[in-house]
């Protein structure tokens, strides 16, 4: 296990390096000059050139990349031109709201999706099971921003139950978390349903039933555990979707997280801040997938890490 973790962390560093290099180049291909955006349209060309020199933007992309890597190895992500402070300081104030939103979204998805998938898998031909399947298909087809607008219209405008924007209370988390988790609920429910249908036909399930074990114990203690690995894999793979969905949803609800910060940085061509946020998103996705792989061994003892 220790050797496997070391190898995965080594691969994780390589993946972050490759993706960061790709993002570094792509960000600089986006039209727009940061110096011109900062100074405004009334600035002279000499003023723009001086600011570009101070920011190091008059160097070639290769030299800018070398400088960036040198600073990164020292733990320096650079300075944000739009906030006029170190990138690490800007990001540190936005990480927890996004992490909090992701955790609540995943908890909602697991709490709703797995029980719904189990119920649907026990009687797949029942009317209730087919109805649930149609609901999951609907969740998969609805974009999270459109669902967010519907939630705002219903719970904020019509019923006045939940705040439409803001952060700082449990109620403010409800609608953004539902908007992000809706697709994941549908995927978890469908995957759990399929896995349960396959496991319930296995010989060890029939043996447990023949021994007179109550039905709920057969499902919870014998069928659910071997059905979970594909579900957990899917949750790990969807981590990227959750992080990507947070960009749109956070802006829709004026939620002060990393997604909203990313769009703000992009509008100002704040390269250092965009790169810092990219490190957070990429690193989070890779760490979540590593955690999912390690969780496999706890759920299914047949899995060995050689």
- Residue 195 and residue 223: Cα distance in Å, rounded? 9
Residue 305 has pLDDT above 60, yes or no: no
- The predicted-structure confidence for 100-119, as pLDDT tens digits, reads as follows 888 898 899 889 988 888 88
* Measured CA angle at 16 (ends 12, 19), to 5 deg: 135
Q: Per-residue confidence at 272, pLDDT binned at 50, 70, 90?
A: confident
- Residue 170 and residue 178: Cα distance in Å, rounded? 13
* Measured CA angle at 183 (ends 198, 294), to 5 deg: 60
pLDDT at 297: 65
Report for 7-11, 99-103, 237-241, 270-274: range of highest mean pLDDT = 99-103
pLDDT at 41: 67
Q: Per-residue confidence at 65, pLDDT binned at 50, 70, 90?
A: confident
Residue 120 has pLDDT above 60, yes or no: yes
Residue 9 has pLDDT above 80, yes or no: no
- Residue 79 and residue 15: Cα distance in Å, rounded? 24
Residue 208 has pLDDT above 60, yes or no: yes
pLDDT at 306: 57
More confident residue, 2 or 112: 112
- The predicted-structure confidence for 216-234, as pLDDT tens digits, reads as follows 777 777 777 777 888 888 8
Residues shown for the chain: 306
Residue 192 has pLDDT above 60, yes or no: yes
Q: Per-residue confidence at 1, pLDDT binned at 50, 70, 90?
A: low
- Residue 168 and residue 171: Cα distance in Å, rounded? 9
Average pLDDT, the chain: 81
* Measured CA angle at 130 (ends 125, 133), to 5 deg: 130
Residue 300 has pLDDT above 80, yes or no: no
Is 242 in contact with 176 (CB distance < 8 Å)? Answer: no
Radius of gyration of the chain (CA): 24
- The predicted-structure confidence for 22-61, as pLDDT tens digits, reads as follows 888 887 777 767 777 767 767 777 877 887 777 777 788 8
pLDDT at 304: 61
- The predicted-structure confidence for 121-155, as pLDDT tens digits, reads as follows 888 777 777 777 777 777 778 888 888 888 988 88
Residues pairing with 85 in the sheet: 80
Question: The whole model's pTM is what?
Answer: 0.79
């Amino acid at each position: 296990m220790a050797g496997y973790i070391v190898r995965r962390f080594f691969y994780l560093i390589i993946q972050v390096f490759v993706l960061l290099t790709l993002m570094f180049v792509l960000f600089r291909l986006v039209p727009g000059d940061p110096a011109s955006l900062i100074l405004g349209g009334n600035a002279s060309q000499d003023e723009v050139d001086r600011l570009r020199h101070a920011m190091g933007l008059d160097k070639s992309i290769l030299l800018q990349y070398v400088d960036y890597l040198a600073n990164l190895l020292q733990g320096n992500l650079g300075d944000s031109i739009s906030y006029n402070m170190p990138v690490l300081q800007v990001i540190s104030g936005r990480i927890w709201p996004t992490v909090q939103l992701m955790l609540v979204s995943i908890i909602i998805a697991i709490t709703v999706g797995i029980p719904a998938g189990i119920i649907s898998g026990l009687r797949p031909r029942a009317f209730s099971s087919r109805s649930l399947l149609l609901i999951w298909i609907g969740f998969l087809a609805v974009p999270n921003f459109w669902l967010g607008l519907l939630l705002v219209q219903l719970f904020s405008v019509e019923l006045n139950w939940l705040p439409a924007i803001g952060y700082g209370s449990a109620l403010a988390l409800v609608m953004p978390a539902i908007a992000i988790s809706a697709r994941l609920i549908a995927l978890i429910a469908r995957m759990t349903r399929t896995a349960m249908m396959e496991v319930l036909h296995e010989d060890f399930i029939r043996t447990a039933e023949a021994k007179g074990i109550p039905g709920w114990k057969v499902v919870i203690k014998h069928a659910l555990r071997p059905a979970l690995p594909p579900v957990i894999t899917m949750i790990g793979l969807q981590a990227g979707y959750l992080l990507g969905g947070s960009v749109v949803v956070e802006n829709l609800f004026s939620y002060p997280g990393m997604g909203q910060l990313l769009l703000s940085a992009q509008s100002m061509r704040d390269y250092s801040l965009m790169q810092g946020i990219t490190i957070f998103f990429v690193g989070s996705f890779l760490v979540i997938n590593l955690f999912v792989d390690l969780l496999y061994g706890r759920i299914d003892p047949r899995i060995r890490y050689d």
